[in-house]
Amino acid sequence: MSKILVTSALPYVNGVPHLGHMVGCLLPSDVYARYMRMMGHEVLYVCGTDEHGTPSEVGAAKEGMDVGDYCLKYHNRHKEAYKAFNLSFDYFGRTSSDQNKEMTYHIFEQLDKNGFIEEQSIKQIFSIDDNRFLPDRYVTGTCPHCGYDKARGDQCENCTKVLEPTELINPRSTISGSTNLEVRETKHLFLKLPLLEEKLAAWVKSKEPFWPDVAYSIAQKWLKEGLKPRCITRDLKWGFPVNKKGFEDKVFYVWFDAPIGYIGITKQWADENPQNRNWKEWWLDAKDVHYVQFMGKDNVPFHSISFPATLLGTGENWTKVDYLKGMSYLTFEGGKFSKSENRGVFAEDAIKEFPADYWRYWLMANAPEASDSSFTFDLFAGTVNKDLNGVLGNFVSRVMKMTASKIGSVVPQAGELQDVDKQLIADLQEKVGNYCKYMENLEFKKALSELRAIWVDGNNYISVTEPWTVIKTDPQRAAAILNICLNLIRIYAVLSYPVMPETAEKILAKFGLNTKEIASLKDFSAEKEIRALKEGQQFEVGEALFERIAPEKIEELKAKYGSEKK
């Protein structure tokens, strides 16, 4: 048994998560955490909301709220949504917590002490009417290259050229529309990444065998281009005030304290039960901790370069990422998810339409691992109807109903294994082996495809053995077949648990069992598992596990969630 530290990229508090966010880091991290627990590892799985930065301030102002209250409100919305999706965080914290402040201050002090912090003056746009500095992106104007009148200060979306906000014609504040702007000089603190480059490069190189190509190549690209000092402070109110003389009126840049949030949140977790929890066991001079991070592809540079460099610069022995899972994006009905255009399914709504497991299964079976992947309601309904209802749900139903009506609602007597049974067991052993291998390698699509194949084998087995025919001439053999089928159902529940925890519980409950007692995959032996149910054990057929999605419902959903391209 080893210690597995799992983190999901911290969702930004301002805005509600959609399916793309769910599959981009939250769900895969949960499936992985659940799987690793089932393998008997000690798992710490933390996440939380990333709260600092301009968008929070602007969002709060728009709602006429205090920034802290605003963040708490949205933090709670995130928390509720993830709970509804059954994300099994050990702790869901906040980057604005006192614990994170403490960590951020400590790490900054270490960096400063070690000579990795320097002052630089930079010029930035100040909006007099908004009474605030504007990040480049918050300045809008006409693109000097193509004349597009809604170009942002960092890049023109129309011609894709990279811009400086001062290049814009007729610049205005994106927040208020005010044109009353001026360039002001302001002092900031920079992390001297060039000094850490060598050390960082060596560290990245040591990770080459373990990181996926995408992550490794992105990190290499940054190193190849040469690291520049990175500004880690901002002229904002909302954030941790900088703990250095002369900079007290500034706050740390959100990307400085956000990844430190993984540590801060762990401390939040530990502080709730200090007798039994120790954050250092996971993060500082930690032994035997295997750290796996999940994030969208856009987050890779921060997790492979800035954050590790920050930790290296402290001179202390912080736990750094071992495996970095970068996910691509999910598209929605051929386009992008867009809150402003009301296109796409958001987590809060998704859960009102269908049980979490429908989404969890579909999203993981179609996870954007190698490249972007597409969500459409047709695909979703197809999978729910075929895989969940047809293959898994119907198997459970046909086996239980047949047993109940022909023999009674008890697990019938097992018999001597025949060749067809032995083959089933051998296949099961092999496929579970593959499933586990894929899970361990974080190849979710492959893992789920294997899981599905295991379900298919059950249907295959029953149609080959034909217990409904056999029972007329050889009731004992029919009982033995059904015994095997019922045991398969139990095994399917256990195997499905990381992906579909509710369904797993539901299935086991039919046998009066629960996942707490039996959800283990350690040293899986098909031979033993196929005999796990006690003969004579009562079961209840109960209601169907899943419901089909009717064609009319699909059309309704498409209309409701803006499938039509605008």
Partner RNA sequence: GGCGGGGUAGCUCAGUUGGUUAGAGCGGUGGAAUCAUAAUCCAUGUGUCGGGAGUUCGAAUCUCCCCCUCGCUACCA
Give, as ranges, the residues between 20 and 59 that touch RNA (CB under 7 A).
50, 52-55
449 binds RNA (CB under 7 A): yes
In whole angstroms, how far apart are CA 213 and each of 88, 194, 220, 309? Answer: 28, 24, 10, 20
Classified as helix, coil or strand, 189 is strand
244 near RNA (CB under 7 A) = no
| Contacts (CB under 7 A) with RNA, residues 56-115 | none
In 3D space, the residue among 384, 374, 288, 289 whose CA is nearest the CA of residue 333 turns out to be: 374
- Residue closer to RNA by CB (options 314, 459) is 459
**Contact between 231 and RNA (CB under 7 A)?**
yes
DSSP state of 538: B
Which of residues 391, 417, 518, 532 is near RNA by CB under 7 A?
Answer: 391
Site for RNA in 249-288 (CB under 7 A): 253-255, 258
Name the segment binding RNA (CB under 7 A); options: 265-273, 297-305, 315-323, 493-501.
Answer: 297-305
Q: DSSP alpha helices (H): ranges in 114-154?
A: none
Task: For residue 397, state whether it binds RNA (rule: CB under 7 A).
Answer: yes
Instruction: Based on the shown chain and the rule CB under 7 A, indicate whether residue 463 belongs to the binding site for RNA.
Output: yes
Q: Is 326 in the site for RNA (CB under 7 A)?
A: no
Residue from the set 146, 183, 202, 370 that interacts with RNA by CB under 7 A: 370
DSSP 290-339: EEEEEEEGGGHHIIIIIHHHHHHHTTS-B---SEEEEE--EEETTB--BT
340 forms part of the interface with RNA (CB under 7 A): no
Nearest Cα neighbor of 133 from 189, 57, 64, 59 is 57
Binding characters for RNA, 131-150, by CB under 7 A (x = yes) = ----xxxx------------
Q: Which stretch binds RNA (CB under 7 A): 110-118, 266-274, 361-369, 554-562?
A: 361-369
Q: Shortest gap between Cβ of 225 and RNA (angstroms)?
A: 5
Interface segment toward RNA; rule CB under 7 A; list 153-161, 243-251, 430-438, 553-561: 153-161
Of residues 495-554, which lie at the interface with RNA (CB under 7 A)? Answer: 544-548
Question: Any contact of residue 16 with RNA (CB under 7 A)?
Answer: no
Structure tokens given for 543: 């209601």
Tell me which of 72, 195, 379, 470 binds RNA, using CB under 7 A: 379
Which among 389, 375, 403, 405 is positioned nearest to 537, based on CA atoms? 403
How many residues contact RNA, by CB under 7 A?
A: 89
Per CB under 7 A, 338 contacts RNA: no
Supply the angle between the helices 394-406 and 475-496 in degrees, to the nearest 10.
150
How far is it, in rounded angstroms, from Cα 449 to Cα 364? 10
Whether residue 214 contacts residue 208, with contact meaning beta carbons closer than 8 Å, is answered with no
